[in-house]
Homo-oligomer: A and B are copies of this chain.
Amino acid sequence: MNSEQLLFKIPGVRFDEDGQAILTVWAPEAEQVQIQLENKELKLPLQKESYGYWQLETERIRPGDLYRFIIDGKDPLPDPATLSQPEGVHGPSEAIDIQAYKWHDNDWENPFLKDYITYELHTGTFTPEGTFAAMEEKLDHLVELGITAIEIMPVSQFAGGRNWGYDGVFPYCVQDSYGGAKGLQQLVDACHRKGLAVILDVVYNHIGPEGNVLSQYGPYFTDKYNTPWGNAINFDDAWCDGVRQYFIENALMWFRDFHIDALRMDAVHAIKDFSPVHLLEEIRARLDEYMEESGKTHYLIVEMDLNDTRFINPVSKGGYGMDAQWIDEFHHALRVSSGQERNGYYSDFEPITSLAKSYKDAYVFDGIFSEHRKRKFGVKAEGNPGSQFVVFSQNHDHVGNRMLGERTSQLVSYDMQKLLAGAVIVSPYQPFFFMGEEWSESNPFQYFVSHTDQELAEAVRKGRKSEFAAFHLEGEAPDPVSEETFNNSKLQWELLEKESHQTMFRYYKKLIELRKEMPALNSPDRNAMEVEANPEEETITIH
């Protein structure tokens, strides 16, 4: 039973050196799988292989061909591992040769994780055009700012053209309206040539609501667990290997075919997996093999809301071996210390003292009782170096999840904005900024979608309204489906011309310079650091 190797199949359409197409579909319960070419009026059967896979090697499929799969004679469907959806999520898939791109970044070396200074951006709103090509034009600005890595919010194909990215339904496919796979490859190549690492945000905990065809191929979901998005992805139930493989190969694809330097995996606490080898640990193992092979370094960073060091501990200690994680608790403590009202998830945090604890211990809740969660929460993160933690004073979530999507620029004073940036830069953790904060962007970053399914769009609209009804705030929640909401969330680059915005930019630039130049800041030792909280004076002393 050599299941190891047989399971290592890359789903989707690939081309070998001779231009032959290799098609792989995982459909373990199907009786028959066919490919239907749209432009050639051709239908070909795939052969059943072991472990639920179907395959076909053929010269009759060429890059540029549009295709769909037919399962047991039912309606044709896009490929679950499609690399291109030129007509959107409901259209046919396009066969492309993902390895045809000629790279110019041979000399690129991924910096050490401790040297990552990250800038999060959303492709659609970072520039007026909302494309990778337009983003490339702005890289010099980022280089001047001094950041060392950009983190791109999810780019997997979603319905319509406006979405944060967490509603993607084709994990292997780069959003067509952003510029598709080739657009992303060109952008990463350009980043590397300019000395910037690229982190890609990927979503392995759910699949978006519109255009999701996965269940029609196989048991991608399980009713063993309930998540905020309905049934959980099947990582540990019958037939889970094909599903695991689908996501593991996806992670590897970004490194191999897109030269992505690090993945930021969304909300991994929602990956429900009681297997003896957790999905993340398996991704770690497969990535280690790939790094050994390629000689390149890549990182795995997780968003994780459990304060559980098992995720970031090495495999030898029973951990999953992730390189780093976000700590939202630093953000919450920082924001409460700068005047944020203590409601919702902020209610658990005390001004100054919680922040001092996060500077020292990373996790604020490290085994103590959380009133908000109504349970003891977390463990101590004692053996973990500071470079394993990513901190920020704002990010897409904490800005965009406010009813009006206000950035700190609209909430706190100009001086407080500077203080927030300073608080992040002097931390012993990885500093992380949200696009536009370096010039005190005044536009909001609001929640927007462009579902073409009208019922779903209406449901999101209503959900958004009721979410904020409880807060009794004045004003209305912006309509998430309206194009105006999307446009309102775009950066205003022209602000950079104005004095106060320029000053903020120079301030950020100086801070980042300091972080790089001062040994105490660029190679901080968490254990040697002393933190004193003085709540009465509203100060924290770090030395």
Contacts and interface: CB of A to CB of B under 8 A. Distances in A.
Contacts of A277: 379
Contacts of A533: none
Contacts of A223: 226
Nearest to A51: B369
Given A226-B223, A226-B226, A317-B317, A276 B379 contact: yes
Q: How large is the interface on A (under 10, 10 to 19, 20 to 34, 35 or more residues)?
A: 35 or more
A1 B369 contact: yes
A258 B472 CA distance: 56
Given A1-B369, A223-B226, A306 B274 contact: yes
B376 A3 contact: yes
Interface string A1-40: 1011001000000000000000000001000000000000
Contacts of A28: 374
- The secondary-structure label for the interface of chain A is loop
Given A269-B274, A274-B269, A376 B7 contact: yes
A305 to B, nearest CB: 11
Contacts of A376: 3, 7, 241
Contacts of A104: none
B276 A238 contact: no
Most buried by B among A1, A3, A374, A378: A374
Given A224-B225, A238-B374, A274-B306, 7 more contacts: A7-B369, A226-B226, A237-B375, A238-B373, A241-B369, A272-B274, A275-B306
Contacts of A239: 374-375
A237 B374 CA distance: 8
A240 interface: yes
Interface of A: 1, 3-4, 7, 28, 51, 223-226, 236-241, 269, 272, 274-277, 306-310, 313, 317-319, 367-369, 373-376, 378-379
Q: What are the nearest 5 A-B pairs in CB distance? A: A318-B318, A3-B369, A276-B308, A238-B374, A276-B379
8 contacts: A225-B225, A236-B375, A238-B374, A241-B375, A275-B308, A310-B318, A317-B317, A318-B318
A235 to B, nearest CB: 10
Contact of A276 (B51, B274, B368, B378): B378
A275 B374 CA distance: 13
A138 to B, nearest CB: 40
Contacts of A373: 238
